[in-house]
Amino acid sequence: MQKLQISVYIYLFMLIVAGPVDLNENSEQKENVEKEGLCNACLWRENTTSSRLEAIKIQILSKLRLETAPNISKDAIRQLLPKAPPLLELIDQFDVQRDASSDGSLEDDDYHARTETVITMPTESDLLTQVEGKPKCCFFKFSSKIQYNKLVKAQLWIYLRPVKTPATVFVQILRLIKPMKDGTRYTGIRSLKLDMNPGTGIWQSIDVKTVLQNWLKQPESNLGIEIKALDENGHDLAVTFPEPGEDGLTPFLEVKVTDTPKRSRRDFGLDCDEHSTESRCCRYPLTVDFEAFGWDWIIAPKRYKANYCSGECEFVFLQKYGIPSP
């Protein structure tokens, strides 16, 4: 159940951070705008704002394959999240952005390429990632955000349990392969030697960009990896399947991709506020506020812009700019 809750949050987190929600307007409404031209824009906007927000909620849940929002609190989610530097930095970044946007100046930018961070959690192992009948960590599935954008960086983050005395730890990351004639099931990806001091455990990152690029080119070769971190006595310090008290210490991938511009900057059109009586084609603000939804299980971002166009808009213009997107 905990793994499900983790993947639900992380998937949604990445959906909001790195991928827009497509929301097509009702075809009948589009036809009315196209055929009738002048319409009671103010009344139409007032009547459709709430329905737009509901539609956005439904689409988000649909993309997560959920019928209803999960019944889990913000505090419980924070306990399950990896307590690792890159994710904590992302959460802090969104907290700062939320404070900066409290005056309503939150704005989107679909006109320039940008680098985005995607956090990917391991999924349940399939039969091919089991060796000697035992599941091996970890198997990762990759979203379209990673598959169809330029890969900039890929780091595997693992947590090493604390040691009682100074110790040298040998970390190995192995890629699982189909069994060879000699029975070989692994090929090495990375290895490193660490000196650990007594105290708390540590997070360690390993560069896996090359292997991820190969997986994206040949998805069938992605059978998963095995993680080992052995001290001089052969004790494995790597947390792969968290034990009681080790919530939030699951390995994960931090992937940075360069997104491409989604559309070219428009040189015409108006920006209006919600009180405008403008009948010409105009872009109106619509803010999706997850706190207002009661969706505490979304850690960040708490809000995003889903602007839309209304008024005497050409049908082609509506198709291009009439779709709310984060």
Q: How would residue 125 be classed by pLDDT, with cut points 50, 70 and 90?
A: low
Mean pLDDT of 8-33: 43
Q: For residues 81 and 9, is the Cβ–Cβ distance under 8 A?
A: yes
Q: Which residues of 43-61 are buried (b: 16+ CB within 10 A; e: fewer)?
A: eebeebeeebbebbbebbb
DSSP 8-state secondary structure symbol assigned to residue 199: S
Average pLDDT, the chain: 74
pLDDT in tens, 138-162: 899 888 778 888 899 999 999 999 9
Of 272, 308, 242, 265, nearest to 109 (Cα)? 265
The mean pLDDT value for 237-256 works out to 90
Least confident stretch, 48-57, 131-140, 259-268: 259-268
Domains, in order of start, for the chain: 1-111+272-304+314-326 (no CATH), 115-257 (2.60.40)
Q: pLDDT by residue (tens digit) across 209-239?
A: 999 999 999 998 898 999 999 999 999 999 9
Predicted pLDDT of residue 118: 85
Can you tell me the distance from the alpha carbon of 321 to that of 299, in angstroms, rounded to the nearest whole number? 28
The pLDDT of residue 1 is 44
